Amino acid sequence: MATAAAQHTARTPAHDARGGAPDTDAHQRAFDAAIAADERIEPRDWMPDAYRATLIRQIAQHAHSEIIGMQPEANWITRAPSLRRKAILMAKVQDEAGHGLYLYSAAETLGVSRDELLDKLHSGRQKYSSIFNYPTLTWADVGAIGWLVDGAAITNQVPLCRCSYGPYARAMVRICKEESFHQRQGYELLLALSRGTPEQHAMAQDAVNRWWWPSLMMFGPPDDESEHSAQSMAWKIKRHSNDELRQRFVDICVPQAESLGLTLPDPDLKWNEERGHYDFGPIDWDEFWQVIKGNGPCNEQRMAQRRRAHDEGAWVREAAAAYAAKHTHDKEARRG
């Protein structure tokens, strides 16, 4: 069996054994062997163009979701009901910005620039998660987002810690730890409301009613309509299908809703002894595709705010670039 170092050499075009033009067949075989052996693909390894393109698409969409996802919750920072709640919410929204940064950095290792990715987001050529096109109408929505949206994100993202592409998998480890804190704070917030006055309980229930179905849509279309799942799973980018993860999430949420004293808004939700899972009612896929096409309740608002924030941040980017250039110039001058 080849050693890890020898395998790495075969996967790295700069070390082509024949010293000439890269032998794509040999590289493809080495890539396939690495995937089969559950090894990580690293930025300098040879990889098929389609694998690179799929990763850029998914990581970019993920990064965009993190930074657009700051908006619905930031809406409540100034109106948080206590200093403690405000501090927690501010930390959470900052974490999402950090997740965006790790993910844009992971995408950059594939040869795209952050400017290019942001440009694609701003011009509508790359997507962000459907979930962030819904409004946050009450304080309880902050709890529902933490419990359900971050809970769905964790269910989807823990398997991504084992993604075949090294930089993405490593970024996900830290992101998942922080998402767990986000999920817990949402659960704790909803529990406080659920055990509060009848009005607070009703507010928590209303938020759960509105966020439940969009949270199930976060996992993507059903498997038979998921364009990329089969190939992404063969490449071990995705480890489970959209429907598998959605089912896992439903199974986790039902007992948690009971502990919260809240009801999930689905009359068809019931335990299926034979399957060993909860059955649930039909998802409105028409709504999902409408939201993705830009016709959700907040699509226009989210994109307008994102473009405005980008334009207003131009001076910060210019100052950072000028500082970096000066730093490099001074360093070179010192070296003589």
Which residues contact ligand 3HC (rule: CB under 6 A)? 57-58, 61-62, 65-66, 69, 96, 127, 129-130, 149-150, 153, 156-157, 217-221, 226-229, 232, 238, 242, 292
Q: How far is the CB of 222 from ligand 3HC (least distance, A)?
A: 9
Residue type, 40: R
DSSP string, 66-131: HHHTHHHHHTTGGG-SSHHHHHHHHHHHHHHHHHHHHHHHHHHTTT--HHHHHHHHHTTSS---GG
Q: Which is nearer to ligand 3HC, 10 or 58 (CB)?
A: 58
Write the DSSP symbol of residue 14.
G
Q: Which is nearer to ligand 3HC, 64 or 85 (CB)?
A: 64
Question: 293-309: b or e for each residue (b if 16 or more CB lie within 10 Å)?
Answer: eeebebbeebbeebeee
Q: Which is nearer to ligand 3HC, 40 or 228 (CB)?
A: 228
Q: Which is nearer to ligand 3HC, 11 or 133 (CB)?
A: 133
Q: Which is nearer to ligand 3HC, 27 or 238 (CB)?
A: 238
Q: How far is the CB of 66 from ligand 3HC (least distance, A)?
A: 5
Q: How far is the CB of 201 from ligand 3HC (least distance, A)?
A: 25
Nearest to 95 by CA among 191, 208, 5, 174: 174
- Rounded alpha-carbon distances, angstroms, from residue 176 to 35, 90, 166, 171, 305: 23, 18, 16, 9, 27
Whole-number Å distance between alpha carbons of 234 and 51: 10
Q: How far is the CB of 325 from ligand 3HC (least distance, A)?
A: 34
Q: Which is nearer to ligand 3HC, 27 or 120 (CB)?
A: 120
3-state secondary structure 124-177: CCCCCCHHHHCCCCCCHHHHHHHHHHHHHHHHHHCHHHHCCEHHHHHHHHHHHH
Q: How far is the CB of 249 from ligand 3HC (least distance, A)?
A: 12
Q: Which is nearer to ligand 3HC, 117 or 217 (CB)?
A: 217
Element (H, E) at 278: strand 277-279
Whole-number Å distance between alpha carbons of 109 and 250: 35
H helix and E strand count, the chain: 15, 2
Q: How far is the CB of 239 from ligand 3HC (least distance, A)?
A: 10
Q: Which is nearer to ligand 3HC, 11 or 168 (CB)?
A: 168
- φ/ψ of 335, rounded to 5, equals -70, -20
Q: How far is the CB of 141 from ligand 3HC (least distance, A)?
A: 13
- Antiparallel, parallel or unpaired: β 277-279 and 270-272: antiparallel
Q: How far is the CB of 195 from ligand 3HC (least distance, A)?
A: 25
Q: Which is nearer to ligand 3HC, 45 or 96 (CB)?
A: 96
Q: How far is the CB of 17 from ligand 3HC (least distance, A)?
A: 35
Maximum alpha-carbon separation in the chain: 76
Q: Rounded to a whole number, what is the distance in angstroms from the first to the last CA of the chain?
A: 50
Whole-number Å distance between alpha carbons of 96 and 273: 39
